[in-house]
Amino acid sequence: MNSAISFRHVSKIYDSLAGGDRFALRDVSFDIFPGRRVAVVGRSGSGKSTLLHLAAGIDIPTKGEVWIHGSNLAALSDRDRTLLRRNKIGLVFQFFYLLSHLSVRDNVALPELVAGGKSSDFDPRVHELLDRVGLADRAEDPVQSLSGGEMQRIAICRALLRRPRLLLADEPTGNLDDANSRLVMDLMLKLASEEGSTLIYVTHSRELAALADETWRLHSGVLEVP
């Protein structure tokens, strides 16, 4: 079976203000196979967000290679990386990044609207996702009328709209209370599994990390895989 995502001896190095190099990631290697769900834990500054940015092609490694379904991200142009991210990767963040002037429906549909899709083609998918997260009856509501937990459910729907093969979530429950955190995480894991998406999520919560198939730890840019 081919990997959904591979890191091959990946390091990310930044110039330090104090002089010298600062390793955000240090010689990280792993393979994740399609459909797996992996939690990444670690203290602030350990390299978790850097790992997700590299996995998404938002950044490229200083050393090593990142492969997504057979594509070496560093070998792609900026445009091709953007297209791969748009077509194959879904992103969920701690801050929901919803557009307050758009309705719930249009926030979910945003990736298709940006890509110039026809509403007749994507409306059924939008309705399906909203129904699956229990918000179909809120489709025309202004998004700012939703609670934090509801907003994150909308952000997950948006990330899944184009059926991404890889779903990346950076502290997706960081702005939610405990009850909503568990509800949103359970929902994201369920939807990713139903959609057949490979999922990598970063969390500070041991309880939420334990819901994944496996938990990896980052410490000072070094990845510990059990």
- Report the 10 Å Cβ neighbour count for 58: 17
Question: Average of pLDDT values for 187-207?
Answer: 93
Kindly report, residue by residue over 63-76, the tens digit of the pLDDT. Answer: 999 999 889 998 99
Instruction: Write out pLDDT tens, residues 75-121.
Output: 999 999 999 998 899 999 888 889 999 999 999 999 998 888 888 88
Express each pLDDT in 2-35 by its tens digit: 899 999 999 999 877 666 678 999 999 999 999 9
DSSP state string for 97-123: ---TTSBHHHHHHHHHHHTT--HHHHH
Whether residue 199 has pLDDT greater than 90 = yes
Complete domains list, the chain, with CATH:
5-216 (3.40.50.300)
Q: What is the mean pLDDT of residues 148-163?
A: 93
201 confidence band (pLDDT: 50, 70, 90): very high
Cα gap 53→48, rounded to integer Å: 9
- Provide the CB-side half-sphere exposure for 47 (13 A, CA): 25
Mean pLDDT of 197-205: 94
Contact criterion met (CB below 8 Å) for 122 and 115? no
- What local confidence, expressed as pLDDT, does residue 197 receive? 94
Instruction: Kindly indicate the confidence band of residue 175, based on its pLDDT and cuts at 50, 70 and 90.
Output: confident
Taking CA atoms, 157 is separated from 84, 86, 91, in Å, by: 19, 14, 10
**What is the rounded distance in angstroms from the CA atom of residue 222 to the CA atom of residue 79?**
30
Q: Give me the percent of the chain exceeding a pLDDT of 90.
A: 76
pLDDT, residue 1, reads 58
Supply the pTM of this predicted model: 0.91
Phi-psi region of 54 (alpha: psi -120 to 50; beta: other; left: phi over 0): alpha
Q: Are 91 and 162 in contact (CB under 8 A)?
A: no
Mean pLDDT estimate for the chain:
92
